[in-house]
């Protein structure tokens, strides 16, 4: 069994991006500027957004964190339009989930697709399906990059993606099936109505768990030698931790790991790769706009 070390791979990517920023500075070209909007006080979302801002600082990107305890949908839309028209900002994200009085789709669709570094806008998702240049959603793109940089063959493999969320499972299932590298998998997108899930997972060469249910994937479900990617990051109470909680993946790591050829840990697997992908997209935002 080999651990897929997302933390180390993300660090490698950050170093490459840092060097690219150095070159831009030397040439007198603009340094990328990422803005992040966070609404509310959810601890998990704040941790993620802070990690994104910290990554910007390490790479040498400029960053702005825009925080609201609460905001109306109308005022948030106005802020999105302001960032769309602000030449200093190269890309921005609105951290999800948003409070229930705000329509997430409406906000996502208001973002200029050329600044949509999360790759959530329907224009970017549509281009992704057609394999056209676009921003790829950060978590799926991070998973593909992790597979690629660890020389894991995907072509012709049977892959089960568990969970059909708009930001992970759904786009990832398409990206893995596309005629690209990584890609060319035969993908099953499993969800709450899937029948015989255990059997489907047991036949898979690559299993990707993205449902947010701790310990959902158990050893009896996984084929010997499978590649297992765990996207889950649920906070569970843990008195032994300083902050009183620990992050738990969707895979019962201790019993599944011995059966795998490769497996991602939680934390330190997919999470750091998501942030690295966002940074890649932020640099690309300048290239796509010819800056
Ligand atoms: N919430 C969970 N993951 C993400 C992400 O990648 N981007 C945004 N904007 N919100 C999220």
User: Would you say residue 288 has pLDDT above 90?
Assistant: no
User: Would you say residue 160 has pLDDT above 90?
Assistant: yes
**pLDDT band at residue 81 under the 50/70/90 scheme:** very high
pLDDT of residue 291: 85
Q: Give the distance, in angstroms, between the CA of residue 171 and the centroid of all CA atoms in the same chain.
A: 11
- By alpha-carbon position, which residue is closest to atom 9 of ligand 1? 95
- Would you list the domain boundaries of the chain? 28-113, 138-271
User: Would you say residue 289 has pLDDT above 90?
Assistant: no
Asked, as a colleague might, if the bond just before 226 is cis with ω within 30 of 0, I would say no
Q: What does the DSSP 8-state code read for residue 214?
A: T
**Mean pLDDT over each residue of the chain, to the nearest integer:** 97
**pLDDT band at residue 179 under the 50/70/90 scheme:** very high
For 185-215, the pLDDT digits (tens) are 999 999 999 999 999 999 999 999 999 999 9
User: Would you say residue 76 has pLDDT above 90?
Assistant: yes
For 52-59, the CB contacts below 8 A with 24+ separation are 52/93, 52/275, 52/278, 55/14, 55/275, 55/276, 55/278, 55/279, 56/279, 56/282, 58/14, 58/18, 59/14, 59/17, 59/18, 59/21, 59/279
CA nearest 270: which of 155, 114, 150? 150
The yes-or-no answer on residue 52 being catalytic is yes
Q: From the alpha carbon of 45, which atom of ligand 1 is closest?
A: 1
Residues 260-277, mean pLDDT to the nearest whole number: 98
pLDDT of residue 290: 85
pTM for the model: 0.97
**pLDDT band at residue 216 under the 50/70/90 scheme:** very high
Phi/psi for 102 (5° steps) reads -110, 130
pLDDT of residue 287: 85
What topology does CATH give the domain 138-271?
Rossmann fold (3.40.50)
Is 102:92 a contact under the CB 8 Å cutoff?
no
Helices 43-59, 270-288: inter-axial angle, 10-degree rounding: 60
Q: What percent of the chain has pLDDT over 70?
A: 100
Among the listed ranges 50-54, 167-171, 205-209, 286-290, which one has the minimum average pLDDT value?
286-290
Residues 28-43, mean pLDDT to the nearest whole number: 96
What tokens were used for 60? 């040498």
Examine domains 28-113 and 138-271 and report if their fold is the same.
yes
What tokens were used for 35? 């803005």
Task: State how far the Cα of 289 lies from the Cα of 291, in Å rounded to an integer.
Answer: 6
Instruction: Enter the CATH code of domain 28-113.
Output: 3.40.50.10860
139 in ligand 1 pocket by Cβ < 6 Å?
yes
Sign of the CA dihedral running 143, 145, 151, 153: positive
Q: How far is the CA of 225 from the centre of ligand 1 (A)?
A: 31
Q: What does the DSSP 8-state code read for residue 196?
A: S
93 in ligand 1 pocket by Cβ < 6 Å?
yes
**pLDDT band at residue 58 under the 50/70/90 scheme:** very high
- By alpha-carbon position, which residue is closest to atom 7 of ligand 1? 95
Q: Which of 34, 67, 95, 280 to mutate for ligand 1's pocket (most ligand atoms within 8 Å of CB)? A: 95
């Amino acid at each position: 069994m080999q651990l897929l070390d997302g933390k180390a791979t993300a660090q490698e990517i950050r170093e490459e991006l840092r060097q690219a920023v150095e070159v831009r500075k030397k040439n007198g070209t603009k340094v990328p500027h990422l803005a992040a909007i966070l609404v509310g006080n959810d601890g998990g979302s704040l941790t993620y957004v802070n990690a994104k801002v910290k990554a910007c600082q390490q790479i040498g990107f400029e960053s702005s964190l825009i925080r609201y305890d609460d905001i109306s949908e109308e005022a948030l839309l106005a802020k999105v339009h302001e960032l769309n028209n602000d030449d200093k900002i190269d890309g921005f994200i609105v951290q999800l989930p948003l409070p229930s009085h705000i329509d997430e789709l409406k906000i996502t669709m208001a973002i200029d697709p050329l600044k949509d570094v999360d790759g959530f806008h329907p224009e970017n998702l549509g281009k992704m399906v057609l394999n056209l240049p676009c921003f790829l959603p950060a978590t799926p793109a991070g998973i593909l990059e992790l597979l690629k940089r660890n020389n894991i063959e995907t072509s012709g493999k049977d892959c089960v993606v568990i969970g059909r969320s708009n930001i992970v499972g759904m786009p990832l299932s398409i990206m893995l099936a596309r005629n690209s590298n990584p890609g060319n998998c035969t993908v099953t997108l499993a969800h709450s109505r899937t029948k015989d899930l255990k059997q489907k997972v047991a036949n898979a060469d690559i299993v990707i768990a993205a449902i947010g249910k701790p310990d959902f994937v158990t050893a009896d479900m996984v084929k010997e030698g499978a590649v297992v990617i765990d996207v889950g990051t649920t906070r569970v109470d843990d008195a032994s931790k300083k902050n009183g909680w620990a992050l738990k993946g969707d895979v019962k790591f201790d019993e599944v790991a011995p059966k795998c050829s490769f497996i991602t840990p939680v934390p330190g697997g997919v999470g750091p790769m998501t942030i690295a992908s966002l940074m890649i997209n932020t640099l690309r935002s300048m290239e796509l706009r010819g800056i």
